[in-house]
Structure 1
Amino acid sequence: MIRVLFVCLGNICRSPMAEAVLRHKAALRGLQGAIATDSAGTGNWHIGKPPHEGTLGQLKLHGISSEGLIARQMQAQDFEQFDYIVCMDDSNEQNLRRLQGGKDAEILKLMDLLPDEPLREVPDPYFTGNFEETYRLIDLGCEVLLDKIVSEKL
């Protein structure tokens, strides 16, 4: 089983959206038993809460289940339990690299998978309010990530 963890700041907008999108895309390809997804935040403000209503709205609009999405904070053991840790912006990447401590998980920035996109970070819709743009980037990034996982690990 390949395990993927998505990380953003509070774990109520971008990372749970990505968790649900990749899970959905994996199921569409018949890979639901081969790939597990999760999400976490680097901050602790929203632990135990469901995703933001904007995230839930985008998932519903695109027919993607939000079942099981509950905010949690990144933990040191996540580096041992996940094959890929995918962050949404530079700040989260810096925080993750400080926490990593030589563990094996591969840290990726989602936008690095989309070199033709002008944005280098997934904008945080908690502040921008633009959940549609966030969904568009996450959808594209998860497609490329899934191809990467299939070619490298499956």
Structure 2
Amino acid sequence: MSAIDELLPDPPPDLGPQVRVTALDAATVAGHVTAVAAGHPQRSLLEACVLLWHDRLDEAHRIVQASEGERWSDTLHAIMHRREPDEDNSRYWWRRVGKHPLAGELGGEALRLGLPGLVSPAGLLLPSAMASACCQGTLPGEALRALQACELRWLARSLLAS
């Protein structure tokens, strides 16, 4: 089992802000992230990503607010607001991010999951469309939840690799 799999275990988070029984508290998340990424330049953003997985939106929000303007941070900020669900705020942060850092990978995954309305003609994820679908409940929830799980896992891997 990889470090990411240990930090982000199944089941994946819901689309909304509900705290699952299996979610870890913020202090436990911080300890696990430190064990995996102590001294890593992206440790705090990895912690924010793991906090989002474990339904700790307020704690994740505090971390990403501290580094506004940094692309990874703003990406996590947009995801956090999508989970609240605050569609307008999420879309605002996606405009600041521009193209999702994992747009190509997530576009392919969205197509595989039967979510073509979230993908541009170039095959890239449209994060604002995903925000709308998640907040308004206009597409199948389990497919969106699976896409969100891929998004968070791939973000965590990317943060560790950067």
Q: Which has the higher helix share?
A: 2
- TM-score band by shorter chain is 0.3 to 0.5
Q: Which has the higher strand share?
A: 1
TM-score by length of 1: 0.35
